[in-house]
Amino acid sequence: MRKIIHLDMDCFFAAVEMRDNPAYQNMPIAVGGQGRRSVLCTCNYPARQFGVRSAMPNHQALQLCPTLIILPIRMQDYRDVSKKVFSILHRYTPLVEVVSIDEAYLDVTNCPLNGGSATYIANAIRHDIYQETQLTASAGVAPNKFLAKIASDENKPNGQFVITPETLHEFVRTLPLEKIPGVGKATIEKLHQLGLYTGQDAIDYGETALTARFGKFGQLIFERAQGIDNREIVLYRERKSIGVEKTLIENIIGFPDCWQTLKSLTPELQRRIAQKKAFNRIKKLGVKIKFADFTQTTVEQQAVGLDMGVFQALLEKGLARDRTQAVRLIGIHVGLETINQEQQLRLPLEQTTSE
Ligand SMILES: [Mg+2]
């Protein structure tokens, strides 16, 4: 059995605001856009007592809680805290899956720290996070991802919950089906209509009947109801190329026109490479040509930077592959050197969802 931890910061954006301005501690606050049509990113527990929730439109939240203070989003500050949190997680294992800015899965099956106990590891991580950021996190410990995710919610905020291989079956037997990630409002209504409320109900109903009713998702519900989830931790997926292409309004023919088009694409390519800070990772250049009959060809050559001479040679070579046809699309791209595993694991994805 694997040992998976789901770690989730408690009302993250709002928690950062309360930390930085203790006067907010006992007041209902939220973080979100400032326009009337904006929605809240997250809110603190005093606000939740009024029924305010994340993703709620501002005007609705203010109706429920007229004293609610909606603070502007300070994304750079949240990102800085997030980086610190993820650096703590990586002290325990390199197997960290970034779910969002404040949420991660860790596979600690082979982690030797804290006596190899996932429960103690989760405790230690939450302790470290509090010591170093003055923020609380909740954790779920389980033999797989979906159970760890459900578990992290059980004793929120500032708590943790453990599902062991021994308690797993009892836990899923009584598990309300709406707690299975992916089971939304529409699905749960259908399940309830069939008289299915718990994991045990789904098992009794049977795999064949569930699949007939819900397709592939029915099979997933059947698996989850038995506590099965074989999904691995997904590490940061690295970008291996960056490109720009343009479908022409009218087909063009001949090198000069194609070259003009290609040159017009380079500022955007440069911008995208700069955005990914990838200039020093360029290892090859490529040109893609799609002909009028939709056949396409790609030519590439090794290079250490953007080199218009190389692009020119590649375009000539590509066009030479079919001189009879007009061209309907031209694209250029760079192939990138992959960063080693150690480095890429230190790059949390930048997402903005928070709970
Ligand atoms: Mg959270």
Write out pLDDT tens, residues 275-309: 877 888 899 999 999 999 888 899 999 998 899 99
Q: What is the pLDDT of residues 218-230, one digit of tens each?
A: 999 999 999 999 9
Rounded to the nearest angstrom, the distance between the alpha carbon of 340 and the centre of ligand 1 is 29
Is residue 201's pLDDT more than 70?
yes
**Domains defined for the chain, CATH in brackets:** 1-168 (3.30.70.270), 175-225 (1.10.150.20), 241-338 (3.30.1490.100)
Give the pLDDT score at 238.
62
Is residue 75's pLDDT more than 90?
no
242 by DSSP, 3-state: which? strand
Cβ-based neighbours of 236, under 8 Å, separated by 6 or more? 98, 344, 345, 347, 348, 349
Percent of the chain with pLDDT over 70: 94
The lowest-confidence range among 44-48, 248-252, 284-288, 337-341 is 337-341
Total number of residues shown for the chain = 355
* Mean local confidence (pLDDT), 131-137: 98
In a 13 Å sphere around the CA of 65, the CA atoms on its Cβ side amount to 23
CA 191 to CA 138: how far, in whole Å? 30
Rounded to the nearest angstrom, the distance between the alpha carbon of 9 and the centre of ligand 1 is 4
Percent of the chain with pLDDT over 90: 76
Rounded to the nearest angstrom, the distance between the alpha carbon of 338 and the centre of ligand 1 is 31
* Mean local confidence (pLDDT), 183-199: 94
Between 98 and 143, the more confident residue is 143
Give the pLDDT score at 49.
96
Count of C-beta atoms within a 10 Å radius of residue 72: 10
Give the pLDDT score at 237.
59
Give the pLDDT score at 323.
87
Sign for the CA dihedral angle at 140, 143, 144, 146 comes to: negative
Strand order in the sheet with 4-9: 96-100, 103-107, 4-9, 137-142, 160-162
Rounded to the nearest angstrom, the distance between the alpha carbon of 220 and the centre of ligand 1 is 25
* 103 included as an active-site residue: yes
175 by DSSP, 3-state: which? coil
Chain centroid offset of residue 173 CA: 29
8 A C-beta contact, residue 264 and residue 311: no
Rounded to the nearest angstrom, the distance between the alpha carbon of 103 and the centre of ligand 1 is 6
Catalytic: which of 17, 97, 103, 300? 103
Give the pLDDT score at 36.
66
Rounded to the nearest angstrom, the distance between the alpha carbon of 79 and the centre of ligand 1 is 13
Rounded to the nearest angstrom, the distance between the alpha carbon of 249 and the centre of ligand 1 is 46
* Mean local confidence (pLDDT), 66-75: 94
Collect contacts of 31-38 with beta carbons under 8 A, ≥24 apart: 31/70, 31/71, 31/72, 31/73, 31/354, 32/58, 32/70, 32/71, 32/73, 33/58, 33/72, 33/73, 34/70, 34/72
Rounded to the nearest angstrom, the distance between the alpha carbon of 134 and the centre of ligand 1 is 15
Between 237 and 351, the more confident residue is 237
Give the pLDDT score at 107.
97
Residue 244: pLDDT band by 50, 70, 90 thresholds? very high
Rounded to the nearest angstrom, the distance between the alpha carbon of 100 and the centre of ligand 1 is 9
* Mean local confidence (pLDDT), 89-106: 93
8 A C-beta contact, residue 329 and residue 248: yes
CA 117 to CA 111: how far, in whole Å? 8
Give the pLDDT score at 352.
33
* Mean local confidence (pLDDT), 114-140: 98
Give the pLDDT score at 351.
34
